Structures are given as structure tokens and as C-alpha cells.
């Protein structure tokens, strides 16, 4: 019971840190001016085109594909594995479970393995390539290990040491409805959940900020139209003819 | 004729197959440019020498820049150390110094940013690679922020579009602001503020040079091609890098522009007040200096009462003009709105070619097999024409109109993937020759391949820095310095001018 209470509190705390930290960061990005037009060209000329560029960047990792095929492959496998796994986990937070989430369940399992393959590929590259070894700091390795442990513990629960998913669901629904319920007392599950809590807490303070960062990157989110539209920001503009007169 | 290298360093060997070098720590730690003298610093509004309390001053400046540029903030936060950029920089490929990998170059600043401006770095510095801003760190900044030509090649491949050029600019701005600017760039900017061009060429000398060119062209072609200076009421103000006035092969490009204006019958003028398209303000990351340099163009255009502004062949100048002028010195409501402002000389010429307004005979260039070097700032920081990628097709179309024999270099070294000449970004100075020679390696490699495979004799460029840089470094690789030509030299040579015009 104490354990359940501790985990409940930790989850609320983690969620608070995650959301407040992230919102603060996003506001900071939002409010910081982009004084000059600096898209990496050739770039789309319109905002619709920019939306397309960002879409390709987020969904296909377009630039990374140009940059490194191996990193692209492992990175893409990891991220899209992760996406499916997260969607699969929606079943723990919905009652009744939405139809498409039910339909996704079997894919989600394989996605977990794909995710793990991607992560291990990324970790191996980090050790094997001398250039990557040079630029990696402990946090870069630990981040991968954390995610590997997270995916690994999840898969182990599916295949080896099962946990009581119904009780877990009661617990997670209880968290969102403030109707607290006990957590199954499985060490593997506790490890899995603890890793989730850690991930949520470090998100706004780590390189995981790349996820929102890509949308704010001026080389990707600006349209190439400086001759047609005069770009000005709070501090960067010339005294215009009008200003001079006033 | 190739000049044997005198400097004391090994010129990299051109390999058959290009390979990524294994890292050699500190391979270029000895490379740094001369520090600006107090008078060069002060003319730009920077302190003359290293300020007392430089550490706090640097951190204050960094905080200021973090608040002024979204790029810096987002780029410093977002890097995941994926490594996609590590083998993309010509300076890494040419020197193998790991601090010349774009991400490592950013990390010089990121590690300080983390230490002082992030929670993780304040409490767990070792974990996230955060470091104190020590003298060693500042020295590394000075070294390695002057081993980046701000070419943006790395930004093409980064999944978050992280542009190391932005970080380099910020690094240099911080360095200048605490009193340790770079002599070459800051001295030159001072000359522009004072005299109007990078060379410090005053009006009489300019007039003289242009007069000489008129005689020369008349002798060669029989046509009385004019090189007008400060001609009020001309239709076009041409702003061109001052190297075009006297340096080889640049000046042949200027002659080419003049021939185009002549045959098209468009009245034009140069300005003695704004006799420089180059704007080294971008190189040192100083918005204010960049604005001051650009402001001269606005003033000259108003003063001369022109209708259009056309910019000559220069890479970073075109980036500043195309991407930044409207912000820096706009709006251009005093110019004719039916033409793009500003317009690149290649856009101008291309339009005339399309209209059939130029009489070109490409057979005149039949002694040449030409390839084209895409300049980094044009390729990745600007555009020409009305569709993305016009900056690649328009100069090529001009060359193809002027020459029967054109071949491109390998696709992973052209267009958006182009390699810097090795001398851009304010590094075109003799105190950095080793860096320049080594940084040219990837381009030279691609050039060698088309020489061997297709008998290429000339490489055309549309950038004053590229032209100077290649003239200097090609001999180190046993290639002739006269291989480098201006695009408008090729066109000018192919124009059918007659004395009657
Ligand atoms: S901007 Fe160019 S020179 Fe600078 S790090 Fe990137 S690739 Fe290298
Ligand atoms: S490509 Fe971008 S994210 Fe990857 S290491 Fe380089 S700068 Fe960092």
C-alpha cells in the first residue's frame, strides 16, 4: 500500500515536472526572436511548404537520411517503434479501450522489439565509430541504456515474467481519475515504472528537447521569402524611412 | 605554373576514393589567426584588448545572445549527438582534428552553456559534459571558431537543422565583445566603415582603375564599354565585391558584367560610397556592424536615384543581400517594385539570355572544358530566380549558354551538398594558409576527378572569396591557379560585341 502511494505521488510529481518544465521551455523558445531569415536553402517559399518540410523531417527524418544511412535506419526504427508502443499503452488509460488501440495491440509487440533493435544499433555505433565516441558524454550513453532498460523490462513482462495487467490498469486509471488503487507488487513492473518516471523528469532538462526543438529550428521552419516579405523582429530592424521621419 | 609549397605543413594527398579520416586529437590546435589590434577593435565598437573580468563579460554576452537569437538557444538544447554531421565539414575531412567536427565545434560553446545556463550542467556537470569557462576554453574558442567558414554544410544533414555557422558567429561575437577579435575580419570591416570597401580603395583610385578597364576592353573588342561611377539617375546600381576591381580572375568578371549591361543597353553605375558588396559583419556575427556596412548601399541607392540594385558575384555578400538586406536596410520602397530587390547579376543576365537580348557565341570558349563550383552561401543561404534551387540552375545555364563543354562535379559535392572552397567565413588570410589548404581538400578531390575523367580545364565560381582562395591553394595541389574563372568572364568572352554598338 505504501509502495502504491509512493508511486502515485512520484507519478504526479514526474508529470508536473515534465509538463511545467516543457511548457516553460517552449514559451522560452517561442518568445526568443529569430531576427534574420536563415532557412537552409533550397527551402520552401511558402508556409505550407514549410509545414511539408517539417512533416518530412519529423516523419521520415529527411535530413538525417541525407546525413547517415545507418543512424537514420536505427534512429527511425527506434522512434517509430516507440510511437507504436506508446499508442499500444493507451489501453492502460482508456476504458473501454478504443477500437484502433485494440487493433494495434499485436503490432505494438513487434514494435517493442524493433525499438530495442534500433536502440542497440545506436548504442553500438556510439562505441564503434571513433567520431561518435569522441562526442559522446556519459549522459548520451545513459540515455540509451535507460531506454533499452525500459523497452527490455516491458518486453520481459510480456514474454517472461507476466504482471497482472488488469490490476495495473486499475492503478493507472485510478491515477487519472484520482481514484487511487494498489499497484501490483512485481519488481520488474516497478523498475519499468520507475524508468518512466525518470524519463519524464529529465525530459525538459536534457537533449530530449530535440523533440520540440525541431519545430522551432529556424533553418527548418522559416520560409525562403525574404525579398517578398520584410522580416522584422522585436530588436532587429533598420530605422525605416517611416521611423526616421517620426 | 604551380608554385611549390613553401609552408611547413604536409599538403594532404588526393586519394582515389575519398575516405573519412580517423580522428587525430589536436591536429590543428596550433592554428589561430592574428588577434585584432586595439584600433581595429575600437572602430567596430569593441573593447581594444581583453577586458578585466572577461569571464563574466563573456557569460553576460552569451546570455544576451541567448535572448536575442532563437537559433542559438534551440541549437544548443537540441543536439542529440547523433553524429550525422561529424564527417560533413571540409575542415574535419582535411585536418582530422575532432574539434573540427561540427558537433564538437558546437560543444565548445554547448559545454559552457550547460554549465552556466542549464539545470543539468549546474548540478551534474560531469554527466552532461559541462565545463567552466576557463582560459583554455576561451583559447579553444578562438582557435576553432576560426576554423569554421560558416558554410552551413553541416546544417543540411542535421535532423534538427542545427547550423554550426550560427554558433561560430555567436562565438566570434562573444570573443570580439571581450576584446579578442580577429585581425583580418575586423580590420576589413573598419575599412568599409571608413572608406567604403574592404580594400580601402578611395574614390580617385577607383576612378582610375575603371578608366583603365574601359581602355582595355576597347582595345580588346573595339566596343566602347563603359564602367560608370557615381552616375546619377542610372537605372541600376551595381554593388560588387571590391576584389572585382583589381584582383585576378575577379576583374574579368567585372568586365563581363559591364559587357552585359552594354549589350543590353541598360544604364548602370557603381558607387564610390558603397563600393563593396562584401559584408564581413556576418562573419563576426555582429548584427550592428553588418547593418552599418549594408546601410551604405541604401544611402548610395537613394543618393544616386537608381531604380534597381544588382549584386555582383560574391557568396556571402549575396546571402546578406538576399536574405538580410530587407531586414537590415529595408523596406526598398524607393526602388522599382517590378524587379526583385536585390537582384543577383546572374539573375539579371539570365533574364536577358532568356529574352534573347544577348548575342552569345559559345564557340569562342571552345578551348575550355568548364565545371562549376557552387559557393556555400549562395547554395545554402540564399536563392536566385523564382523557384527553390534557382541558385544552382541559373549560373549553370549561363555557363552552358557561354560554353559548349560543361560537366558537373560529383553530385555529393555540388548543389546543396557543395563543399566550401576552404577560405570562406573570414578565413581568407595568410595567417591561416595551412587551414585553407587542408580545408580545400574535398573540393580539390572532386575537381581532380573531373579533370581526370573529362579533361576539365576551368572551374567557374560566383564568389570573390572562392576565386581568391582557389587561386592561392590550387598550386599546392599541383593545379594551375588560372583554372579559376568568373562565370561572367566566360559569358563576357562569348559575347559578340562590335565596335559600332
Ligand atoms: S558551417 Fe561549414 S565550416 Fe562550419 S562546422 Fe559546419 S561544415 Fe564546418
Ligand atoms: S547532426 Fe545535429 S544532432 Fe546530430 S550530432 Fe550533429 S549537430 Fe548534433
B24-35 pLDDT, tens digit each: 999 999 999 999
What's this model's pTM, rounded to 2 decimal places? 0.96
Same domain, B218 and B101: no
Q: Which of B181, B198, B222 is the last residue of a domain?
A: B181
For the stretch A135-163, pLDDT in tens is 999 999 999 999 999 999 999 999 999 99
Q: How many CA atoms lie within 13 A of A26 on its CB side?
A: 12
Same domain, B161 and B290: no
Q: Which of B81, B291, B392 sits opposite A135 (nearest CB)?
A: B81
Percentage of chain B with pLDDT > 70? 98
Same domain, B93 and B202: no
Q: Is the CB of B150 under 6 A from ligand 1?
A: yes
Same domain, B229 and B346: yes
Class of domain A2-36+66-220: mainly alpha
CA of B153 to the centre of ligand 1 (A): 6
Nearest to B343 by CA among B300, B313, B372, B374: B313
Confidence (pLDDT) at A238: 57
Q: Which of B131, B155, B181 is the last residue of a domain?
A: B181
Q: Would you call B372 helix, strand, or coil by DSSP? A: strand
Same domain, B464 and B360: yes
| Omega before residue A96 within 30° of 0, cis | yes
- Of all ligands present, the nearest one to the C-alpha of B78 is 2
Task: Give the structural domain span for B157.
Answer: 38-181
* Residues B131, A145: Cα–Cα separation, whole Å: 24
Nearest to B435 by CA among B121, B99, B106: B99
Q: Is the pLDDT of residue B234 over 90?
A: yes
Q: Is the pLDDT of residue B236 over 90?
A: yes
Same domain, B206 and B175: no
* Residues B369, B406: Cα–Cα separation, whole Å: 6
Using pLDDT thresholds of 50, 70 and 90, give the confidence band for residue A109: confident
- Residue B386 to residues A46, B3, B317, B391: CA-CA distances in angstroms? 12, 43, 19, 10
How close, in Å, is residue A184 to chain B by CA atoms?
A: 33
- Residues near B458 by beta carbon (within 8 Å), at least 6 away in sequence: B368, B369, B370, B371, B483, B484, B485, B490
Cell digits of residue A167: 490490476
* Residues B176, B194: Cα–Cα separation, whole Å: 19
Nearest to B349 by CA among B383, B414, B397: B397
- Of all ligands present, the nearest one to the C-alpha of B423 is 1
B378 falls within a domain: yes
For the stretch B174-193, pLDDT in tens is 999 999 999 999 999 999 99
* Residues A152, A171: Cα–Cα separation, whole Å: 22
Cell digits of residue B355: 529574352
For the stretch A90-100, pLDDT in tens is 999 998 999 99
A32/B78 touch (CB, cutoff 8 Å), yes or no: no
The atom of ligand 1 lying closest to the CA of B151 is: 2
Length of chain B: 501
A219/B71 touch (CB, cutoff 8 Å), yes or no: yes
Same domain, B315 and B380: yes
B211 falls within a domain: yes
- Residues near A180 by beta carbon (within 8 Å), at least 6 away in sequence: A4, A5, A8, A171, A174
The atom of ligand 2 lying closest to the CA of B158 is: 1
Chain B residue numbers with beta carbons less than 8 Å from the beta carbon of A33 are 68-70
* Residues A219, A162: Cα–Cα separation, whole Å: 47
Q: Is the pLDDT of residue B440 over 90?
A: yes
Confidence (pLDDT) at B3: 46
B14 falls within a domain: no
For the stretch B112-165, pLDDT in tens is 999 999 999 999 999 999 999 999 999 999 999 999 999 999 999 999 999 999
B17 falls within a domain: no
Average pLDDT score over residue span B199-221: 94
Using pLDDT thresholds of 50, 70 and 90, give the confidence band for residue A239: low
Confidence (pLDDT) at B490: 98
Same domain, B137 and B221: no
Geometric angle at alpha carbon B183, from B180 and B185, rounded to 5°:
105
For the stretch A23-75, pLDDT in tens is 999 999 999 999 999 999 999 999 999 999 999 999 999 999 999 999 999 99
Task: Indicate the domain borders of chain A.
Answer: 2-36+66-220
Angle between helices B54-68 and B102-117 (to 10 degrees): 100
Pocket residues: Cβ below 6 A from ligand 2 = B 79-85, 102-103, 157-160, 162
Confidence (pLDDT) at A243: 45
Same domain, B217 and B300: yes
For the stretch B448-461, pLDDT in tens is 999 999 999 999 99
Q: Is the CB of B294 under 6 A from ligand 1?
A: no
CA of B77 to the centre of ligand 2 (A): 11
Q: How far from chain centre, in Å, is Cα A180?
A: 28
For the stretch B298-307, pLDDT in tens is 999 999 999 9
B6 falls within a domain: no
Average pLDDT score over residue span A180-195: 94
Q: Is the pLDDT of residue B500 over 60?
A: no
Confidence (pLDDT) at B63: 98
Same domain, B157 and B200: no
Q: Determine how many CB atoms are found less than 10 A away from the CB of residue A114.
A: 20
* Residues A60, A55: Cα–Cα separation, whole Å: 8
CA of B411 to the centre of ligand 1 (A): 19
Q: Which of B152, B181, B210 is the last residue of a domain?
A: B181
Average pLDDT score over residue span B441-447: 97
B342 falls within a domain: yes
- On whether the CB atoms of residues B183 and B34 are closer than 8 A, the answer is yes
- Residues near B453 by beta carbon (within 8 Å), at least 6 away in sequence: none
B78 falls within a domain: yes
Average pLDDT score over residue span A222-238: 90
Q: Is the pLDDT of residue A240 over 80?
A: no
* Residues B152, B374: Cα–Cα separation, whole Å: 13
**DSSP letter (8 states) at residue A234:** S
B135 falls within a domain: yes
Chain B residue numbers with beta carbons less than 8 Å from the beta carbon of A238 are 291, 295, 298, 327-330
Confidence (pLDDT) at A236: 83
Same domain, B193 and B176: no
Same domain, B171 and B211: no
Q: Is the pLDDT of residue B498 over 50?
A: yes
Which residues of chain B from 271 to 290 reach within 8 Å of chain A, CB to CB? Answer: 287
Q: Is the pLDDT of residue B386 over 90?
A: yes
Nearest CA to ligand 1 atom 7: B89
- Residue B412 to residues A57, B21, B189, B393, B405: CA-CA distances in angstroms? 20, 18, 34, 16, 21
The atom of ligand 1 lying closest to the CA of B88 is: 7
Using pLDDT thresholds of 50, 70 and 90, give the confidence band for residue B15: confident
* Residues A143, A207: Cα–Cα separation, whole Å: 9
Percentage of chain A with pLDDT > 70? 96
* Residues A19, A162: Cα–Cα separation, whole Å: 31
Count the domains in chain B: 2
Chain B residue numbers with beta carbons less than 8 Å from the beta carbon of A205 are 118-120
Amino acid at each position: 500500500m505504501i509502495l502504491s502511494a509512493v508511486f502515485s505521488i512520484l507519478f504526479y510529481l514526474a508529470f508536473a515536472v515534465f509538463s511545467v518544465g516543457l511548457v516553460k521551455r517552449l514559451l522560452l523558445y517561442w518568445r526568443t526572436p529569430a531576427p534574420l531569415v536563415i532557412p537552409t536553402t533550397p527551402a520552401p517559399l511558402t508556409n505550407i511548404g514549410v509545414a511539408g518540410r517539417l512533416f518530412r523531417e519529423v516523419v521520415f527524418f529527411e535530413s538525417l537520411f541525407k546525413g547517415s544511412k545507418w543512424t537514420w535506419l536505427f534512429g527511425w526504427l527506434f522512434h517509430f517503434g516507440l510511437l507504436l508502443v506508446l499508442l499500444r499503452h493507451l489501453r492502460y488509460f482508456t476504458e473501454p479501450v478504443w477500437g484502433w488501440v485494440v487493433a494495434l495491440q499485436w503490432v505494438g509487440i513487434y514494435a517493442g522489439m524493433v525499438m530495442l533493435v534500433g536502440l542497440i544499433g545506436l548504442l553500438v555505433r556510439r562505441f564503434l565509430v571513433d567520431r561518435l565516441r569522441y562526442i559522446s558524454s556519459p549522459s548520451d550513453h545513459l540515455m540509451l541504456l535507460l531506454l533499452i532498460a525500459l523497452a527490455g523490462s516491458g518486453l520481459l513482462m510480456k514474454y517472461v515474467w507476466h504482471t497482472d495487467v488488469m490490476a495495473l490498469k486499475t492503478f493507472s486509471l485510478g491515477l487519472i481519475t484520482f481514484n487511487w488503487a494498489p499497484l501490483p507488487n512485481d519488481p520488474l513492473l516497478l523498475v519499468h515504472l520507475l524508468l518512466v518516471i525518470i524519463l519524464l523528469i529529465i525530459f525538459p532538462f536534457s537533449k530530449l528537447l530535440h523533440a520540440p526543438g525541431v519545430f522551432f529550428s529556424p533553418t527548418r521552419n522559416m520560409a525562403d521569402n525574404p525579398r517578398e516579405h520584410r522580416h522584422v523582429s522585436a530588436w532587429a530592424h533598420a530605422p525605416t524611412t517611416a521611423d526616421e521621419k517620426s | 605554373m604551380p608554385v611549390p609549397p613553401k609552408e611547413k605543413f604536409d599538403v594532404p594527398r588526393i586519394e582515389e576514393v575519398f575516405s573519412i579520416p580517423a580522428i587525430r586529437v589536436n591536429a590543428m590546435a596550433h592554428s589561430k589567426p592574428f588577434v585584432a589590434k586595439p584600433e581595429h577593435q575600437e572602430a567596430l565598437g569593441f573593447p581594444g584588448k581583453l577586458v578585466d573580468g572577461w569571464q563574466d563579460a563573456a557569460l553576460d554576452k552569451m546570455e544576451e545572445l541567448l535572448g536575442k537569437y532563437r537559433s542559438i538557444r534551440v541549437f544548443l538544447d537540441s543536439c542529440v549527438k547523433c553524429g550525422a554531421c561529424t564527417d560533413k565539414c571540409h575542415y574535419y575531412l582535411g585536418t582530422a582534428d575532432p574539434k573540427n567536427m561540427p558537433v564538437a565545434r558546437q560543444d565548445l560553446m554547448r559545454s559552457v552553456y550547460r554549465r552556466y545556463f542549464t539545470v543539468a550542467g549546474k548540478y551534474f556537470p560531469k554527466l552532461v559534459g559541462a565545463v567552466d569557462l576557463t582560459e583554455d576554453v576561451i583559447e579553444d574558442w578562438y582557435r576553432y571558431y576560426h576554423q569554421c567558414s560558416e558554410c552551413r554544410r553541416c546544417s543540411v544533414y542535421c535532423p534538427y537543422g542545427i547550423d554550426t555557422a550560427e554558433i561560430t558567429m555567436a562565438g566570434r561575437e562573444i570573443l570580439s565583445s571581450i576584446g579578442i577579435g580577429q585581425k583580418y575580419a575586423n580590420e576589413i570591416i573598419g575599412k568599409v566603415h571608413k572608406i567604403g570597401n574592404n580594400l580601402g580603395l578611395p574614390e580617385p583610385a577607383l576612378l582610375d582603375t575603371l578608366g583603365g578597364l574601359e581602355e582595355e576592353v576597347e582595345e580588346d573588342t573595339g566596343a566602347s564599354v563603359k564602367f560608370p561611377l557615381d552616375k546619377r539617375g542610372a537605372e541600376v546600381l551595381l554593388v560588387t565585391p571590391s576584389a572585382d576591381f583589381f584582383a585576378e580572375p575577379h576583374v574579368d568578371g567585372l568586365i563581363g558584367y559591364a559587357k552585359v549591361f552594354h549589350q543590353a543597353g541598360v544604364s548602370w553605375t557603381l558607387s564610390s560610397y558603397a563600393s563593396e558588396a562584401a559584408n564581413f559583419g556576418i562573419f563576426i556575427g555582429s548584427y550592428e556592424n553588418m547593418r552599418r556596412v549594408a546601410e551604405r548601399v541604401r544611402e548610395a541607392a537613394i543618393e544616386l536615384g537608381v531604380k534597381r540594385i544588382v549584386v555582383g558575384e560574391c557568396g556571402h555578400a549575396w546571402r546578406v543581400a538576399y536574405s538580410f538586406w530587407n531586414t537590415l536596410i529595408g523596406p526598398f520602397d524607393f526602388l522599382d517594385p517590378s524587379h526583385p530587390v536585390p537582384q543577383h547579376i546572374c539573375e539579371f543576365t539570365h533574364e536577358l539570355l532568356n529574352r534573347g537580348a544577348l548575342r552569345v557565341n559559345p564557340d569562342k570558349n571552345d578551348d575550355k572544358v568548364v565545371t562549376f563550383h557552387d559557393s556555400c552561401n549562395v547554395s545554402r543561404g540564399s536563392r536566385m530566380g523564382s523557384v527553390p534551387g534557382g541558385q544552382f540552375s541559373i549560373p549553370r545555364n549561363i555557363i552552358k549558354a557561354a560554353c559548349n563543354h560543361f560537366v558537373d562535379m560529383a553530385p555529393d559535392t555540388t548543389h546543396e551538398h557543395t563543399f566550401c572552397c576552404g577560405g570562406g567565413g573570414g578565413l581568407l588570410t595568410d595567417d591561416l594558409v595551412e587551414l585553407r589548404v587542408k580545408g580545400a581538400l574535398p573540393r580539390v578531390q572532386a575537381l581532380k576527378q573531373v579533370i581526370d575523367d573529362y579533361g576539365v580545364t576551368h572551374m567557374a565560381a560566383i564568389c570573390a572569396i572562392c576565386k581568391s582562395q582557389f587561386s592561392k591553394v590550387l598550386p599546392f595541389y599541383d593545379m594551375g591557379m588560372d583554372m579559376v574563372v568568373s562565370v561572367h568572364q566566360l559569358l563576357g568572352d562569348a559575347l559578340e560585341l562590335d565596335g559600332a554598338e
